[in-house]
Amino acid sequence: MIKVLFFAGLREQLECDGIEVEAGQIATVTELRGSLQAKGETWSSALSHESLQVAVNQQLANMQAGVKDGDEVAFFPPVTGG
């Protein structure tokens, strides 16, 4: 299983702070994101932003980063300051 966490606006849009996904054929963050987007329009919309940030096992990563069973992947919108 891959533990997936959502932060800030994503958590609000998806109305959940995290889920577990069967690792199966998922090898990259991009594939994981695609699998999540297939859950429906809300998921697709929330995870479609180009500026979406991701961390794998608490390390900032890019969408091509590899993932495997037992990993933790966190999605969050870009941080803005004021």
Domain definitions of the chain by residue range = 2-76
Phi, psi of 22, deg, nearest 5: -60, 125
Q: What is the pLDDT of residue 30?
A: 96
User: In the chain, at which residue ranges do the beta strands (DSSP E only) sit?
Assistant: 2-6, 18-21, 53-56, 59-61, 72-76
Considering the segment(s) 2-76 as one domain, its CATH architecture is Roll (3.10)
Give the separation between CA 27 and CA 12, rounded to whole angstroms.
Answer: 27
**With 90 as the cut, is the pLDDT of residue 49 above it?**
no
Mean pLDDT computed over every residue of the chain: 92
Per-residue pLDDT of 33-44, as tens digits, reads: 999 999 999 999
